[in-house]
Structure 1
């Protein structure tokens, strides 16, 4: 199987984004970008991805920074609890409230204004994202991996986990060379799929198994 064919198979079988798993389609709109940010905050913690995704789905009841700020702390805790995000529910509920305050105060709740402030500089986007409470390096990588679908200046974004998955699949461990294997429109799904190869044992064997 050629590298291009391998890449296509990986996308086809494992290219579901975290956003899609959490029940929303990412577009360059304030609400969807905010939901991706919340999802990235939840995934920053040492917790199973499926639990973070489930909690993000529940927090979809507060799809904007303003709605998140207007929700009570207990409402946020309850939503996290319904998603079984119970170990860090109280601290995360506080962080989400503080993060909503920050976004509203600095960007009017619109992450596109953060993007504009960064002026197309990926490093600056990441620096500004670091100001969001509880959004660690892992979460920033997740946000950028998925946001590259709607923010072209992030492309190609293949972080260490994605590159590790590429190496596991026998593909180039180089972002530039990986980008040559698929269309730019598929970078986000390709990156998500490569991360899944890193995290899920046996997935690569399933993809490569004869039909």
Structure 2
């Protein structure tokens, strides 16, 4: 708990600390304490997501997606889909056409735009994270519009 507090994660409680300990034990037991070993033992991107999700109770698809988004440029098997929030923001900002398309094509298009703007593949996750944050703002704004209409 003290480590979480020192790291600025004051909103986390003992339940979260317990989950982190459970995850660490599972990582030690199954992968010699190495996320690199977990990655190398995964047969595919889908298997990697499954292995991460089974490390401990409470690690769901969103947590796995966020984690792998940060490792997309480092681990070959880290290939999470773009979140709906990122896609909505990219459409709102006219980075993607309004008609829905395949997630992989949307990701490739955003990576292309990022490179054209001078971004590197290694820092694409910064752009993707910014899109997710913008998507959250859009979702909140829509929620306020709905409440106002009621």
TM-score, normalising length: structure 2: 0.70
1:81 deviates by 5.0
Say whether 1:192 aligns with 2:115. Answer: no
Matched residue, 1:205: none
Q: Which of 87, 90, 108 does residue 166 from structure 1 map onto?
A: 90
Q: Which runs of 4+ in 1 moved over 4 A?
A: none
1:116 deviates by 0.6
CA deviations over 1:17-54 (Å, ceiling 9, x no partner): xxxxxxxxxxxxxxxxxxxxxxxxxxxxxxxxxxxxxx
CA deviations over 1:90-113 (Å, ceiling 9, x no partner): 211211111110000111111011
Q: Which of 25, 40, 47 does residue 116 from structure 1 map onto?
A: 40
* CA distance in structure 2 between the aligned counterparts of 1:96 and 1:126, rounded to whole angstroms: 18
Matched residue, 1:84: 10
Q: Which of 71, 86, 108 does residue 176 from structure 1 map onto?
A: 108
CA contact (8 A) 2:48 2:78 kept: no
Say whether 1:151 aligns with 2:72. Answer: no
Query: 5+ unaligned residues in a row in structure 2: which ranges?
Result: 101-105, 116-120, 139-150
Name the SS of the counterpart of 1:181 in structure 2: helix
Name the SS of the counterpart of 1:163 in structure 2: helix
* CA distance in structure 2 between the aligned counterparts of 1:156 and 1:102, rounded to whole angstroms: 22
Count of residue correspondences: 122
1:155 deviates by 4.9
Matched residue, 2:27: 103
Say whether 1:135 aligns with 2:59. Answer: yes
TM-score, normalising length: structure 1: 0.52
CA contact (8 A) 1:156 1:187 kept: no
CA RMSD of aligned residues (A): 2.2
Query: 5+ unaligned residues in a row in structure 1: which ranges?
Result: 1-75, 202-211
1:156 deviates by 7.5
